[in-house]
Amino acid sequence: MSILFEPTKLGDIDVKNRVFMAPLTRNRAHRDGTPHEIAVTYYAQRASAGLIVSEGSQIAPMAKGYVNTPGIHNAKQITAWKEITDAVHAKGGKIVLQLWHVGRISHTSLLPHGNAPLAPSAIQAEAPTFTEDGPANVSAPRELSAAEIETIVTEYTDAAQASIDAGFDGVEVHGANGYLLNQFISTNTNDRTDAYGGSPENRAKLLLDVVDAVSERIGRGRVGVRLSPTGTFNDIHDGEASATYSFLFAEIDKRELAFLHVVEAFPGFEPSGPDKDLIQNLRTAYSGNYIANGGYDKDSAAEAVEKGAAAVSFGRMFISNPDLPERLRLGAELNSVDDETLYGGDEKGYIDYQALSSAA
């Protein structure tokens, strides 16, 4: 277990342990995308993580896909995030912001002027989202032009700079879970015939363009990427996953980024057979700082780090256990998650989970 609590360095980011907090959508921001005041407490409570990866945050108004999710594209949002990063740093923590564009996983009611969601191709997802009026099927998207894709790269770059201005220690480019960059990567969501479609190299182009532009702006030692090679969330599927991700992992490895954060498994879907082999092969071939995510407990996390992972990130366990590293270190009992308060709401199920020091 002790290896989980050893410090390490991810590019330019020094971390105090290998127990990381995964990005967690909680739908508690203000309607205009400004982080809520109670988020200061929420993140500060979890500052004992080696690294906090923030909830996904929209890089632009057209990047939004769910009600009450935060953004990082205007001065008001930057100011609110600065209060959060200051609170985390005051407690000795490190935090990076996850840069998010949902692409086709959105609804016209969530987007400026009722516009259609943006996507690599005009292929509608069989997936839900959450609007002001409750759950709804996502809207039909429209295909991005090449010029618009270049604009999106600029939006990512500006959002990365805004993150640094807000006091974050770096950023994570969200290329997983069926959102925009993952939609470009995957065969079932990208039928383009231009430089962004067809071969694995072309389908990976936008993600790599974003990574390169963001790295040039804020430094590659403060940039990470999140990928989900076997994921099917949000109606995503890559029929050439082995070729696609072998290429992507190799390209990311060359760039010597701060980290690569990989969703290896989703709740209720344990990888097996070809999926399990793919993850293992990709993980073995990658020489950089690999952050493992998906279904880990304290023993399997320690084993993963022993075998070469830089760290392991935890999601649900960090929701209900703000002092998770200490609980794992002591072998203490873990609080259970209240599923009814995961998304939306107020302090309940957000900042009222007890730490060991207050449990008595």
Across residues 157-184, what is the average pLDDT?
Answer: 98
pLDDT for 114 equals 97
Judge whether 156 counts as a catalytic residue.
no
| 146, pLDDT greater than 80 | yes
d(CA 322, CA 336): 12
d(CA 83, CA 89): 10
| 326, pLDDT greater than 60 | yes
Encode 137-147: b = buried (16+ Cβ within 10 Å), e = exposed.
ebbebebbeee
| 268, pLDDT greater than 70 | no
d(CA 360, CA 48): 20
Across residues 160-182, what is the average pLDDT?
Answer: 98
pLDDT for 275 equals 86
Could you name the CATH architecture of 2-359? Alpha-Beta Barrel (3.20)
Across residues 198-203, what is the average pLDDT?
Answer: 98
pLDDT for 270 equals 67
| Pair of tokens at residue 232 | 């099917």
Across residues 317-332, what is the average pLDDT?
Answer: 97
| Pair of tokens at residue 242 | 């082995």
Report how far apart, in Å, the C-alpha atoms of 344 and of each of 31, 106, 176, 311, 335 are. Answer: 12, 17, 22, 29, 20
Element (H, E) at 52: strand 52-58
| 25, pLDDT greater than 60 | yes
| Domain positions in the chain | 2-359
Across residues 241-264, what is the average pLDDT?
Answer: 97
Q: Which of 179, 196, 245, 296 is catalytic?
A: 179
pLDDT for 103 equals 98
- Bridge-based pairing of strands 134-137 and 142-143 is unpaired
**Confidence at 1, pLDDT banded by 50, 70, 90:** low
- Bridge-based pairing of strands 259-263 and 8-10 is unpaired
Q: Say which residues have a Cβ less than 8 Å from residue 102's Cβ, sequence separation at least 6.
A: 58, 63, 64, 65, 66, 117, 179, 180
d(CA 87, CA 81): 10
| Pair of tokens at residue 120 | 């690599």
Which of 50-54, 282-286, 325-329, 337-341 is predicted with the least confidence, judged by mean pLDDT? 282-286
| 319, pLDDT greater than 50 | yes
pLDDT for 359 equals 53
Whole-number percent of the chain with pLDDT over 70: 97
pLDDT for 276 equals 87
Which of these, 231, 250, 233, lies nearest to 241 by C-alpha position? 231
pLDDT for 14 equals 98
| 172, pLDDT greater than 70 | yes
Across residues 337-358, what is the average pLDDT?
Answer: 94
Mean pLDDT estimate for the chain: 96
| 243, pLDDT greater than 70 | yes
pLDDT for 272 equals 67
Which of these, 320, 326, 258, lies nearest to 288 by C-alpha position? 258
Which of 1-10, 24-33, 193-202 is predicted with the least confidence, judged by mean pLDDT? 1-10
pLDDT for 360 equals 44
